[in-house]
Amino acid sequence: MAREVEELRKECASYTEKLERIKSATNRVTPEEKEKQKLYCKEWRRRKRMATELLDAILEGYPKSKKQFFEEVGIETDEDHNATLPAAV
């Protein structure tokens, strides 16, 4: 029984150490920050969809290619900068 108690104390000490490491981590995200991130991603998706729909409507009557239109107007896309929307947060 004494041996079991000693093993449990060691196990408890390791869990306590692990808990302290988690508590002292500086890269934690608060619930408020997480909600902000969700809001920003939602807005990004909404605005990208709106811009895409608008550009598609313009391109229906445009005689040149989409790429040429973007170059003439000076539009830079997310893909040009390797920016991707995060998965559902």
The per-residue pLDDT for 4 is 92
The per-residue pLDDT for 7 is 93
Q: Chain-wide mean pLDDT for the chain?
A: 89
pLDDT in tens, 22-51: 888 777 778 888 899 999 999 999 999 999
Q: Is the pTM of this model over 0.85?
A: no
Tell me the pLDDT band of 53, cut-offs 50, 70 and 90.
very high
Long-range contacts from 27-32, C-beta under 8 angstroms, 24+ separation:
none
Of 34, 30, 53, 52, whose CA–CA distance to 42 is shortest?
A: 34
The per-residue pLDDT for 12 is 94
Q: What is the mean pLDDT of residues 68-75?
A: 93
pLDDT at residue 88 is higher than 70:
no
Question: Domain-by-domain residue ranges, the chain?
Answer: 27-81
Q: Is 6 exposed, middle or buried (0-12, 13-18, 19+ CB in 10 A)?
A: exposed
pLDDT at residue 82 is higher than 80:
yes
Query: Three-class SS of residue 85?
Result: coil
